[in-house]
Structure 1
Amino acid sequence: MKAIVRLPSYAKAQSRYEVSSISRLTRRRSNVIVGDFDLDEIADIEREGGEVYPDVQFQLASTDYPFLPERDAARFWERDYGEFSPASGFSLDDVLNHIKAPEAWHFSRGSGVTIAIVDTGIATDRPEIPSFKRSSIDVPSEFAGQHWSDSFGHGSMCACIAAGTSSDGGLYNGVAPDANVLAVKSILSSTDLYVIYDDLIERFSDKSEGRLIINNSFALLRCASTGEFTLDHPLVDLIKSGVSAGIPFVFAAGNSHYDGACDNRAGECYPNTIWSINSLDEVFCVGAVDGENSNQSESSAHANSSRGPGELSMLGDKPDLVAPTYGRVPWGNIGYKTLEWWGTSGAAPQAAGAMALVLAAYPNMSVEELYRLLRESALPLASSKHCTGAGLLNCERIVQKLLGHIS
């Protein structure tokens, strides 16, 4: 079985790493090891006083990502109303105008900052992500060497929303059109994520390659906690160490509130449906709203945006804020899709792009200051913070606050 294992001492982990019969050991960090274990090895580790954390499968807000178990829930973001021309309906351009991203580009366009998209990969021929924007780093995930491919399309969407550019044949800019993009294709399991995060933290902790932002548009899609993650889980510890090293982690809130899956009411900002690492105080969690800045209407898919306060949040409630998702958006190799919403999957990369705008101008800003800036610059909304957090992401207000034009 795949698992993350914490041994009682570094020495034991070092010894096991060197001589273990584990069939495929993929990563070791201090006294934590990640790999494939048989039942005898698990029993031996537990006799030594070690802790075994079974692999946990995260999911996109979709029913058909080929690497993930089938979901029996109703639809989430996948309502597809077919193609239409940019002039006949809403698109990514409208969403960027909604969050006032173009108004921030006189201040910064994200140059020098890298956004890692941990997702389904990124399509090689995606015109909004031309070769000069692509990081050459090959992260040792389950898809090492295959990161610049995306047979599903979701990762390409997220990359274009965060940092796409129209300068090389693409139709749309993203929030940070001059930021670089690092493709990380993953099976979205806790063991694969551990390997990915560990490698990225090791590479970017000294900031010699500039600032990194990690976008994570996936979640545990469920209606109640099943307790796989606690505050002492090795993956939680790893994320905290990355944030301490100056790497922001942006997560989608999840799409688990309404529409048959959890039998919650669209108009209510409870119960909690933001689970596991997506709800940590150390990460930035983003929900979604429609064109009217709402996620509480039964007639809108946006009612699926997960509610706070968050399973593991201790110091502040989740989500941190919300972003709008609707209309025509770049999608994989097939061109563009028109969707009623892009889920919270499409909201998270907007926040990641906004962070890139800030870090390009203020490369020494701490993660805590960055998170606080985005929350304090958000446009306040009338609904409860458990529905919409601090309010609507607003890039213009971020710049105004940085320049001292608003308090």
Structure 2
Amino acid sequence: MRKARRPARGGRPTPPGRGAMAERYKVRFPDAPTLRSALAARDASRFLKVVNEKRRYVAVELSDEHARDATARRDFTDLLEAWRRRGAEVLGDPHYDLELPTTCDRQEPDDPEAPSLDQVLARIRAPAAWATSRGAGTLIAIVDTGVDVRCGEFPPPRRIGGWAPIGEDPWADRDGHGTMSATVAAGTRAAGAPFDGVAPDAAVASCRTSFTDGELGAIYDHLIALRQQGHRVIASNSFGKNQGHPPPAPDFPEFYAALEEALGAGVIVCFSAGNNHDDANGDPAACEPSTIWEPHKCRDDVLTVGVSDLDDRMWNYSSRGPGQYFGDPGSGRKPDVVAPTPRRGRIFCGATIRTWPKGWGTSGAAPQVAGLAALVWSAAPDMRPADVRAAIRSTATSLGLDANCQGAGLIDCAAAVRMASSRRPSPV
């Protein structure tokens, strides 16, 4: 197997700890009327995070604060027991992790001399595509930790259809990661902010989440509704399993069912490949072993994205293909393509520009491809999602590496938009 060029160095930060006392459950009811009736219970509103009538479940949480309160803990237990008596199932609500777990105080202060998003856009030839398309008429959903609008990259007219768990604000970022992802995909200098993203005229829907099954199911149902309203929706996702060995079969029924429906409805979906190559003790110069986990990242109808650096070398941590589920029905060889992030690159972390010493990970690569999908779809609004994906793959530039490292190669925005804008419209 062909080897990668000498990789960019750098490990991955340790994931931040979750609340030691918080408890999260998903409660499935026998039918929607029973669910609606159950919500009238005295203490229900205190603990609700998600209500999904379509799939007959709610998600409830005993927060760290409530867990320290004996009365609140008793009320929470009593509520779950009352719902059980109504025939509900009380289930766990498993969660995924950020691909690049981070908090802003772990990043370096802004270094104006460090490379930034501007150099990334130049490398993927986004500015060369903007004469034809800047993403207008598309909607990029950032499925992440929220977007901090204090950064100035997302003035109110560009914010459409946000989603957040009950009691949370989609336009606030609990971690800083989501603002980075959104800026890469669709930031804009139009109102005086410092960066343009790949698709600076696309609208943005911030979908804030802790990546639980219940929340992801509700988010993808929300994206289906936006698609049914006529929006051309592209979803950028930077979450997964951070480990060096294959995880067991996932137990995310709400997310997987809603994702299947969203793809069928015409939502274009981009996933980060993951940052697991180091965790698997992979040779930094090798394109094996395979470390792209989970069935959703192995589907042939999604775009799964690895990460290179600005010198066309694979980052040492970028997950390699062909993917855990390669060869299964409906799967494809992964990654599809790669996108670059710089060593010590400047980008927003929340509302503050920071220099990220270990790069932006595949978390910063996936939103580039989401932005490119917006450019292509805006240039040719009649294109089917499958044709948009094909245009992105077929116009990528090979880095001379094995497909398990680079997929089809480095994305080329100008070439993909040129292909889209020169094609014949699909017959009606």
TM tier, shorter chain?
0.7 to 0.9
Assess, with a 3 A threshold, how the Cα gap between structure 1 residues 39 and 243 changes in structure 2: closer, same or farther. farther
Structure 2 residue corresponding to 1:225, chosen from 242, 246, 251: 246
Distance 1:254 1:100 in 2: 24
Q: By how many angstroms is 1:361 displaced?
A: 2.3
Q: 1:364-398: per-residue Cα shift (whole Å, max 9, x none)?
A: 32221111111111112221211111110110110
Please give the TM-score of this superposition, normalised by the length of structure 2.
0.78
Structure 2: how far apart are the matches of 1:345 and 1:178? 21
Distance 1:306 1:52 in 2: 35
The structure 2 residue matched to 1:304, chosen from 313, 317, 340, is 317
Q: Count how many residue pairs are aligned between Structure 1 and Structure 2.
A: 374
Partner of 2:8: none
2:272 pairs with 1:252 = yes
**Structure 1 contact 217–252 (Cα < 8 Å) conserved:** yes
* Conservation of the 8 A alpha-carbon contact between 2:291 and 2:323: yes
Which residue of the other structure, out of 377, 381, 406, is the alignment partner of 2:395? 377
Deviation of 1:6 (Å): 7.3
Cα distance in structure 1, aligned partners of 2:180 and 2:111 = 17
The residue that corresponds to 1:206 in the other structure is: 228
What is the CA distance between 1:51 and its match in structure 2? 9.0
Q: Does 1:335 align with 2:353?
A: yes
SS of the residue corresponding to residue 35 of structure 1 reads: strand
| Structure 1 position 28, deviation (Å) | 3.6
Residue in structure 1 matched with residue 132 of structure 2 by the alignment: 107
Shift of the alpha carbon at 1:109?
0.4
**What does 1:290-329 align with in structure 2 at a 5 Å threshold?**
290-295=309-314, 302-313=315-326, 314=328, 315-326=331-342, 327-329=345-347
Looking at structure 1, the residues matched to 371 and 195 of structure 2 have their Cα atoms a distance apart, in angstroms, of 14
Question: Contact 2:109–2:354 (CA<8 Å) still a contact in 1?
Answer: no
Match of 1:83, as an amino acid?
Answer: D
Does 1:287 find its partner at 2:306? yes
> 1: distance between equivalents of 2:304 and 2:259?
14
1:158 corresponds to: 181
Q: Aligned to 2:313, what secondary structure does the other structure show?
A: coil
Distance 1:196 1:370, change over 3 A: same
Letter in 2 for 1:246: G
1:49-60 to structure 2, matched below 5 A, reads 54-60=92-98
Going from structure 1 to structure 2, the CA distance change for 1:374 and 1:39 (only over 3 Å counts) comes to farther
- 1:343 deviates by 0.4
Following TM superposition, by how much is the alpha carbon of 1:18 offset from its aligned partner in structure 2, in angstroms?
Answer: 4.1
CA shift digits 1:209-241 (9 cap, x unpaired): x211111112211122332427x9342221011
Q: Which residue, 352, 359, 384 being the options, matches 1:366?
A: 384
Distance 2:200 2:291 in 1: 32
C-alpha distance in structure 2 between counterparts of 1:225 and 1:29, whole Å: 34
Q: Is the 8 A contact 1:141 1:195 kept in 2?
A: no
Q: Which digits, 9 at most, give the CA deviation of each residue in 1:140-184, with x for residues without a partner? A: 42554x111125321111111111111221122110111111122
Shift of 1:404: 4.6
CA–CA distance in structure 1, aligned partners of residues 364 and 233 of structure 2: 19
Q: Note if contact 2:148-2:350 (Cα within 8 Å) is conserved in structure 1.
A: yes
TM-score w.r.t. structure 1 length? Answer: 0.81
CA distance in 1, matches of 2:80, 2:140: 38
Q: Give the percent of matched residue pairs that are identical in Structure 1 and Structure 2.
A: 34
Whole-angstrom CA distance in 1 between matches of 2:132 and 2:214: 39
Q: Is the 8 A contact 1:17 1:28 kept in 2?
A: no
- Partner residue of 1:173? 196
Distance 2:106 2:283 in 1: 20
Q: Give structure 2 stretches of 5+ with no counterpart.
A: 1-22, 61-75, 424-428
SS in 2 for 1:27: strand
Cα RMSD, aligned residues only: 3.2
In the other structure, the counterpart of 1:347 is 365
- 1:278 to partner: Cα distance: 2.9
**Which of 258, 268, 271 does residue 238 from structure 1 map onto?**
258
- C-alpha separation between the residues in 1 aligned to 2:291 and 2:155? 37
129 and 138 in structure 1: CA distance in 2 versus 1, 3 angstrom threshold: closer
SS across alignment from 2:306: strand
Aligned partners of 1:32 and 1:234 also within 8 Å: no
Pick aligned residue for 1:278 from 272, 297, 300: 297
